[in-house]
Amino acid sequence: MNPHLKGRHFLDLAAVDAASLRLILTKAAELKQQRANGQLPSMLAGKKLAMIFEKNSTRTRVSFEVAMMELGGHALSFNGNELQLGRGETVADTAQVLSRYVDAIMLRCHSHDKLRELAENANIAVINGLTEYSHPCQIMADILTFEEHCGSIKGKTIAWIGDGNNVAQSWIQASALFGFRLRLACPPQLNPLPEVVQWARNLGADIILTQFPQEAVKDADCVTTDTWVSMGDPDPETQIAMLAPYQVNEPLMKLASPKAIFLHCLPAHRGEEVTAEVIDGPQSKVFDEAENRLHVQKAIVLWCLNVI
């Protein structure tokens, strides 16, 4: 533990205690209500967030930037290549230098190890804006969305269909920390990392891994999926071929609970991982989910800076 660290990192759900995760969601809901009433508390006045994107982004970039702006702070956004980092300056030096200018760093990058290295060398909070390993901010927004529509997630059943990717791995970590059942249907070659599943099961998580989407969605309260090809995936064609039987469509949704909602972190590919009927249909809450990135990330930054 770095004795000079000002603030707390948000690198993975597994590295944050369940009480803090619940506190973040409660604060996010409160901030959402306040914003609807026209109130934007200046809780981050004078605070600065540097954001580094090695991969594309719409939601993460805009929601963090607006979050900082609305709470009285400021966000600076860079793509990895325009910094000297893109020309070989070390992650450690970048961490040290940014620590002298800003209050927190959000990184979206290809390698989770790089995120860890940044966090180990920074004296300020580092936030995971997506790596190939996990996407914790996304799942916090997903849980807020689920609870708005379906009540407490504890004891409920979430079905993940498709690639056992970064988003799936954050769902797995969340299942242990929030106490919901998780059913994942993935092609065996695209299963999530066994150590991630084992970590959650060791904490008592109720997780079933199957290759059959019909089995995973049975009576589920939420059905969720993601793009068949994630940013940085080396072999899109093979990936798409393996995932073809994993489309979320109306016949599949009919096997879930009649009140089930559909979630997708976006960007979506209609006709691939989900049909237009489902993502644009009445069970879909994907735009509430996208909006909730804003509210949740306000609360995450407040937690990282020890404001809550």
Residues with a catalytic annotation lie at 108, 135, 138, 226, 265, 293
Report phi then psi at 240, rounded to 5: -65, -40
Looking at the Cβ atoms of 17 and 237, the one nearer to ligand NVA is: 237
Amino acid at 113: D
Report phi then psi at 264, rounded to 5: -155, 130
- Which residues, 6 or more positions from 92, have their beta carbon under 8 angstroms from its beta carbon? 117, 120, 121
CA distances 303 to 6, 180, 218, 244, Å, are: 12, 24, 36, 40
Length of the chain: 308
**Closest approach of ligand CP to the CB of residue 68, in Å:** 15
**Closest approach of ligand CP to the CB of residue 138, in Å:** 5
Return the one option of ligand CP, ligand NVA, none that residue 58 interacts with (CB less than 5 to 8 A, by type). ligand CP
Out of 7, 57, 128, 222, the only residue in the binding site for ligand CP (CB under 6 A) is 57
Q: Which stretch binds ligand NVA (CB under 6 A): 26-34, 44-52, 159-167, 290-298?
A: 159-167
Between residue 138 and residue 167, which ones bind ligand CP under the rule CB under 6 A? 138
Inter-residue contact 116 to 90 (CB < 8 Å) = no
Pull the structure tokens for residue 45.
């006045």
Looking at the Cβ atoms of 60 and 131, the one nearer to ligand CP is: 60
Out of 63, 165, 169, 284, the only residue in the binding site for ligand NVA (CB under 6 A) is 165
CB neighbours of residue 226 within 10 Å: 27
Out of 157, 224, 225, 227, the only residue in the binding site for ligand NVA (CB under 6 A) is 227
Pairing relationship of beta strands 48-53 and 181-185 according to DSSP bridges: unpaired
Contact between 297 and ligand NVA per CB under 6 A: no
Q: What residues make contact with ligand CP under the rule CB under 6 A?
A: 57-60, 130, 138, 265-266
Residues that bind ligand NVA (CB under 6 A): 130, 165-167, 226-227, 230-231, 265
